Amino acid sequence: RFLALLEILKDLSEAKDYSFLSTLEKLSKYDEKEGKRMSKIYEFTMRESYRNIALEEVAEIANMTPNAFCRYFKQRTRKTYINFLNEVRIANVCRLLRDREMTIAEICYQCGFNNLSHFNRNFKAVKGMSPSAYQKLINQ
């Protein structure tokens, strides 16, 4: 069994055809001070992503002005904070779409989107398909 496991792991490591289960990227390597700051930002975002978050609020978490925070976050993640927040929300949507306990509209509003068409546009930008197509694909 152990040899079979090693063969499977070898095959997985050599695979060229794969897709990520999550759209969220891992934290980059930061020095201790930056690591704490980015960790606070990530934790806050994960915890509060279901509601409307003002840029001033997250900038305050980072002890920065909103403009400085935007530059800081973009330099370190290569994306805007709003794009990151939308990716977090879409990851939460994907989890809820697997459960099939709520409608897509209910999931949209529960995950922090305030407008259904805006939600559909963001979902398609991140996942490359509509929420209903994604739900059909994962629940086959």
C-alpha pair distances (Å), 8 with each of 12, 19, 49, 91, 119: 6, 17, 37, 28, 38
How far is the CA of 100 from the CAs of 2, 95, 107, 121, 127, in angstroms?
Answer: 37, 10, 10, 21, 18
Predicted confidence at residue 27, as pLDDT, reads 45
**Would you state the pLDDT for residue 105?**
92
Q: Is the pLDDT of residue 36 over 90?
A: no
**Mean pLDDT across 60-85:** 93
For the cut 60, the answer to whether the pLDDT of residue 31 exceeds it is yes
Q: How far apart are the first and last CA of the chain?
A: 31
Closest CA to 45 of 16, 99, 78, 83: 83
Say what the pLDDT of residue 21 is.
Answer: 62
pLDDT digits (tens, 9 = 90+) for 108-133: 999 999 899 999 999 999 899 999 99
Position of tokens 């490591």? 13
